[in-house]
Amino acid sequence: MTLMAGSSPGATEWLQRARAMRREQLSKLAQLGVLVHGISHLVHMLQCERGASNVWLCSQGKLYAPECKASRALVDEYLAALYGILEKQSQIPGSAVCERIGGALRSLDTLSVLRDAVIQQTITAPQAMEHYCRMLRHLLSIVPQLNDSIDDPQIAGRFVALYSLMQGKELAGQERALGAIGFTQGFFDDVTRQRLVDRIDGQQACFDIFLSHSHADVQTTFSLNCLPDRETEQLRRVACTRQPAADDGHTALTWFALQTTRLEHLRALEEIIIADLVVAVDERIHHDDDYALPADEQDDLMTLYPDKPLLTLVRQQAREIEQLSRQLASLRDMLEERKTIDKAKSVLMSHQNMSEEQAWTALRKMAMDKNQRMVDIARALLTVKSLWQVTPKE
């Protein structure tokens, strides 16, 4: 015997309420698409200003003066546009988004001071880059928060793709800026080289996530236009493995031009992804009423929303990338500490005729006796070594 049961009025009311709430969520998200677009434009031009400022500073004002001026003008234009978008936004979804926006605007308030320091050359390129990166980090942090209340797996998946692409593009922009420092100066120190390697590895991880949530045509576009070309890869190897030849900034300009072309392609793809997201949201809003579950699935609404790992993935990825950044910073600190300890070991080995193991043991014993870290003992030893009266071992 087959049991037939109609949908009770209570169930119908709740289903209609769910549909109305979903439509309201998507409508808010559709309006926020304009905000995402404005952030994307501003981020791109800030990345251009950051890179041009690095070349200007490292060349002592000899290179890229027009580019710096042009990029600042465009940043001001898009910043004004962003302020205009925010003034018209009446439906910001939640306090967390407002806090992210407030943090970004507060960071951008320091832009004029930073520019003055760049123009007057009272700031180093790495210092300027850190300030620009902080502004960009605040701006990009807004995007994943916009998906906070969306319950649609397909829309969430598109947000994952968009944020991954934007984050990967920012790391590619940092790669351009770091390379500009090294090639303009004519050398790469260990810190700059390690940071460059970190950015290359980091962007690849972001792009892998982006591609895993993208359609085949988007994947093809990325492969054809957005990967580093052969000349860029050659310059990467120079930057990461040896010192560039002195050529009055010619290689720096080549590097900057190649990376700028790639970033422009990434920017064009970003436009496509944002447009695709807006269209998908609009279609979901207008087609929601037309959607009905098949008769054999009406008793199991979970078929509409299976396990949804993507729903929190945007925010989770943002946290993971922030954590990765902290881990990379910690790793760099550990590498620097290791280098300091190795230098101190060399002092002991050369002046006290110790083996490497004996030098290590001596440093560790001094650290334990003084209740200090080995790296602190090593730094103290290196600081006073020029005044240290060495008595060779018998």
Taking the domains of the chain in order of start, what are their residue ranges?
19-287, 337-384
Of residues 239 and 33, more confidence is placed in 239
Q: What token pair was written down for 319?
A: 């946290």
What is the reported pLDDT for 147? 64
CA 54 to chain centre: 18
Q: Is the pLDDT of residue 316 over 70?
A: no
Q: What token pair was written down for 343?
A: 């230098």
Q: Which residues contact 226 (CB under 8 A, 6 or more apart)?
A: 207, 262, 265, 266, 269
- Per-residue confidence at 356, pLDDT binned at 50, 70, 90? confident
Query: Between 1.10.357.10, 3.40.50.1370, 3.30.70.2740, 1.10.10.10, what CATH number should domain 337-384 receive?
Result: 1.10.10.10
Beta strands in 194-306 (DSSP E): none
Least confident of 71-85, 94-108, 268-282, 307-321: 307-321
The percent of residues in the chain predicted with pLDDT above 90, rounded, is 43
- Per-residue confidence at 326, pLDDT binned at 50, 70, 90? low
Average pLDDT over residues 14-38: 75
Of residues 391 and 46, more confidence is placed in 46
Q: 142 and 169 in contact (C-beta within 8 Å)?
A: no
Distance CA 117, CA 31 (A): 38
Q: Is the pLDDT of residue 299 over 70?
A: no
What is the reported pLDDT for 293? 43
Beta strands in the chain (DSSP E): none
Which residue bears the tokens 């800026």? 177
Distance CA 385, CA 166 (A): 48
108-160 per-position pLDDT tens digit:
999 999 999 999 999 999 999 999 999 999 999 888 877 655 566 677 778 88
Distance CA 279, CA 177 (A): 34
Least confident of 72-81, 108-117, 263-272, 375-384: 375-384
Least confident of 118-127, 156-165, 187-196, 322-331: 322-331
Distance CA 166, CA 302 (A): 32
What is the reported pLDDT for 384? 74
Least confident of 7-21, 239-253, 317-331, 343-357: 317-331
- What do you get for the CA distance between the two ends of the chain, in Å? 102
What is the reported pLDDT for 292? 46
Is the pTM for the entire model greater than 0.85?
Answer: no
